[in-house]
Amino acid sequence: MSGKMVSITVDGASALVEAGSSLLEACAAAGAKVPTLCHLKDVSSNASCGLCVVEVEGAKSLVRACVGSVGEGMKVATSSPRVMRARRNAVELLLANHPADCLTCARSGSCELQDAALTLGIRQVRFPRTRAAPKLDVSTDGLVRDNDKCILCGRCVAVCSEIQGVSAISLAGRGIRTRVATFMDRGLAASPCVQCGQCSVVCPTGAITERDDTEELWRELAKPGGTVVVQTAPAIRASLGEALGMEPGSLVTGKMVAALRRIGFDKVFDTQFTADLTIMEEGSELIQRLTKGGKLPMITSCSPGWINFIEYFYPSLLPHLSTCKSPQQMFGALAKTYYAEKAGLDPAAMRLASIMPCTAKKHEAKRPEMRGAWEYWSAKAGASPDTAAYYDVDWALTTRELARMITRAGIDIARLPEEEFDDPLGASTGAATIFGTTGGVMEAALRTVYEIVTGSPLPTLDFEAVRGLVGIKSAEVDLAGTKVRVAVAHTLKNARVLLDEIAAGTSPYHFIEVMTCPGGCVGGGGQPVRVDQAKRLARNAAMYAEDRRLGLRRSHENPSVKALYAEFLGEPLGHLSHELLHTTYARRTD
C-alpha cells in the first residue's frame, strides 16, 4: 500500500483509511464488522461465499468487500436492508446443502457457518437440497474429509497450494457438481497429502477435521489393571488454554499436568524430555558430519509433515535428513523400554498417548519404522510380540482433542493448581521448550553444539537471528574457527526454496531446520482453529517466556538425560541409541 489516506463514509460516519485497502479492511478500520466465510487473511479472498457484500453508493450491484477496493469519497453501507437480505440468502443457500448435525459435529461452537446463521437470525432454510451427500474420506491416519459439510470457500485449497506448496486438493467439477477433490477422487491417502492439517485449521466448518481418537482412549483409561501414560509436546502448554477459552498465548503448563491426572492418566510426562535428548543425538550427528565427513547440509527430522513432504517430492535428498526420530517417537521407544524396566512395568500392558499440535503425528505414530520398543523386547526375549498391536506410541491426539476431553470431564483448567510432571521422563530445559516454534530446534541445537565444540559457555543463549516468523532465516556461527552457516524455514513452500538450492548444488548451508506449519508447532494443524498471525505470535512469545522461566536452558544440562545415558543408552550415537532413537526414510510410493 502507498500510505496515502483517503476519506470515505461508512454507515454515515466519516473515516480516513489507507488508499488501496480492501473494503473489508476499510470497514473494519471504521469500526464496522463485515462478516466473511471464504475470506481468510493471508490465505484466501476468492469472493465465493457472498457473505461480505456491502452497498456502495452509485454502484448498481452489491460489492463483495473482500475483493472491492476503497476510493476517495466512497459512501458505504454495511447493514442496509438490501445488504442484509443478500447475506441471509447466501447463508440459507449454503445451509440448504449442509447437514443439520450441529449437535454432534466436532466443530460445533467453533463453526463459522453456524456463527453466520446465528448472527443473521436464520431460524429456517427456505431452499431445497440440490446435491446428494458424498462419502466420507477416512483414508488417512490423520484427517477426515466430509464434503457434505464443505461450503466451497476454497480456503483448504489455497492453504495447501499457496502456503504449503503441496496441492493435494483442488476444486473440481462445475455447477452443483463442484467439489473439493483429490486427483481422480481417490482420497487423501492416494494423493501427495502430507497430513499437515493446515486445511483443518482454516476450514470454517467441519468439512476437514482431525481423526478423533478420544473414544478409544477413554475406553482404555477405564480398563482396570493396565498402565496408560501420556506425553505432552512443547507447544501444547501455549495453546491448550486458548482452546479452552483463555487468552491466546496463555501458559498452562502446570494446570495441564493437573488436568491430565484428573482425566485418569497414570503418569504425566513431558515430550520436552526427549526434545533435549534429540538435541544430544542430533547435535552429535551434526558434529560427526562436520568433522568426519557426511552429507551436508544436514536437515532436521522432527516434523512428520516435513518428512512426508521430502519423501514425496524430494526423495533424492533424503540422505540430508538427520537420522534422529522425532521427540514423540523417541519418547515412545524409551517409555516402553527404559521407563518400563525402571518402574517394573510390563511393557506389553503399557499404553502411551501423545498430545501433539499436529495431525501428521497420527500418521507418524503408525509408521512401520516406529516400533523400536518391539524390536528391543523381541531381541531381548527371543520372541516377537504382536507387531500389529505394538507401536511405540498408541495414540497421538491434537490440542483440540485434549480440549474436548477436558471439557467432557467437567474440568475448569483455569481453577486448577499447578502440578509437576512425573519423573524421570518429565525433566526438561528451556532449550526443549522452544522446539515449539520456528527456529527453536536450531537455537536449541546451537546452544549445545557450540559449548561441546568450543568447550566454552555461550556469550548469550538467545540466537535472535533464527527467531521470528520470517519465512526463511539464516545465520553464521563460529565453532572454534569453523564457520557454520545455518538456515531455518517454516511452511513447506519455503522449504522448497532451500531444497531446490541443495538439488542445484548451490546451497551455502551446513545445517537446516524445517518446520511444516506456519510459525512451527505453535501454528500446527492440530492447534485451535481461527488462528491468525497475532495468535501465532502470542503462542510464540509464550514459548520464549517459558524458556526464560526454566532454570536450565541447555539440553546437555538436563540431569535426567544425563542419567539416561549413564544407566541405559551409554552415549550419544551409541549402539542402543541407534536402535531406539534413529531411523531411515525412503521414497513414498503410496
What are the residue numbers of the active site?
A: 282, 285, 302, 322, 361, 364, 369, 521
State the Cα angle at 29 between 26 and 30, rounded to 5°.
Answer: 90
Taking the mean position of all CA atoms in its chain, how far away is CA 581?
23
User: How far apart are alpha carbons 207 and 287 in whole angstroms?
Assistant: 46
Other CB atoms closer than 10 Å to residue 380's CB: what's the count?
A: 10
Cell of 405: 476431553
Question: What stretch of H or E contains 56?
Answer: strand 53-56
Question: If you write DSSP's letter for every residue of 175-191 in order, what string do you get?
Answer: GGG-EEE-GGG--GGGT
**Helices 372-381 & 327-334 angle (0-180, nearest 10):** 30
Kind of pairing, strands 482-490 and 511-515? Answer: parallel
Q: Which residue has 497420527 as its cell numbers?
A: 362
**Helices 440-454 & 272-292 angle (0-180, nearest 10):** 60
Q: E-strand spans in 391-540?
A: 395-398, 472-479, 482-490, 511-515
User: How far apart are alpha carbons 310 and 502 in whole angstroms?
Assistant: 12
State the Cα angle at 352 between 351 and 354, rounded to 5°.
Answer: 155
Q: Are 374 and 390 a contacting pair, CB within 8 Å?
A: yes
In 3D space, the residue among 31, 248, 48 whose CA is nearest the CA of residue 155 turns out to be 48
Question: What stretch of H or E contains 565?
Answer: none
Handedness of CA 327, 332, 337, 340 (dihedral sign): positive
Spell 308-326 as b/e; 16+ CB within 10 A means b: bbbbbbbeebbebbbbbbb
Other CB atoms closer than 10 Å to residue 272's CB: what's the count?
A: 34
State the Cα angle at 399 between 394 and 405, rounded to 5°.
Answer: 75
In 3D space, the residue among 472, 509, 511, 565 whose CA is nearest the CA of residue 301 turns out to be 511
For residue 175, the one-letter residue type is G
User: How many Cα atoms within 13 Å fall on the side-chain side of residue 354?
Assistant: 33
